[in-house]
């Protein structure tokens, strides 16, 4: 009699575990599928966009094209917050890359956000892309 009751309890407990564990795992997957990526992307975009606006308004982008030098852009990229990396590439109006610089010590990440801004140099139109990501 006691043996039978023990078997029933065991089977019952195993059945309960078989139902509960997948259910809890499913809930866990659903809850953890929420990623802050879109918010990170927006923050990064705003940051990259602001940075490009600054570099455009103070003619750093134009001067880089006319002089062919990247030192000012490079030092700007190196002075970004330590958790942030970025790459600036300047293209001609025919979409040919002209200049490119990246924050020192950074490697490209899969997750990034890109801002684009155009400007004039030597009466020609160029555009700069600034791709940013977190270290």
With contact defined as beta carbons under 8 Å apart, do 91 and 127 qualify?
yes
Question: x/- binding map, residues 11-30, to other proteins, per CB under 8 A?
Answer: -----x--xx--xx-xx--x
Give the residue, chosen from 3, 31, 81, 107, that forms a contact with other proteins under the rule CB under 8 A: 31
Q: How many CB atoms lie within 10 A of CB 65?
A: 19
Q: How many CB atoms lie within 10 A of CB 133?
A: 22
Using the rule CB under 8 A, is 2 a contact of other proteins? no
Question: x/- binding map, residues 70-109, to other proteins, per CB under 8 A?
Answer: ---------------------x-xxx--------------
For the sheet containing 84-92, what is the strand order? Answer: 97-102, 84-92, 124-134, 113-121
Phi/psi-derived region of residue 57, left when phi > 0, alpha when psi is between -120 and 50, beta in every other case: alpha
* Binding positions for other proteins, rule: CB under 8 A: 16, 19-20, 23-24, 26-27, 30-31, 33-34, 38-39, 41-42, 45-46, 49, 91, 93-95, 115-120, 123, 125, 127, 129
């Amino acid at each position: 009699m006691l043996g039978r009751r023990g078997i029933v309890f065991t089977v019952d407990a195993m059945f309960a575990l078989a139902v509960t564990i997948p259910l809890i795992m499913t809930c866990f997957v659903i809850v953890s599928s929420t990623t802050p990526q879109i918010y990170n992307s927006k923050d990064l975009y705003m940051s990259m966009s602001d940075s490009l606006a600054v570099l455009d308004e103070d003619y750093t982008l134009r001067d880089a094209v006319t002089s062919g030098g990247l030192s000012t852009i490079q030092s700007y990229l190196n002075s970004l917050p330590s958790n942030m990396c970025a790459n600036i590439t300047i293209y001609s109006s025919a979409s040919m890359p002209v200049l490119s610089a990246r924050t020192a010590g950074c490697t490209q990440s899969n997750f990034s956000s890109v801002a684009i801004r155009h400007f004039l140099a030597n009466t020609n139109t160029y555009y700069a892309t600034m791709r940013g990501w977190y270290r």
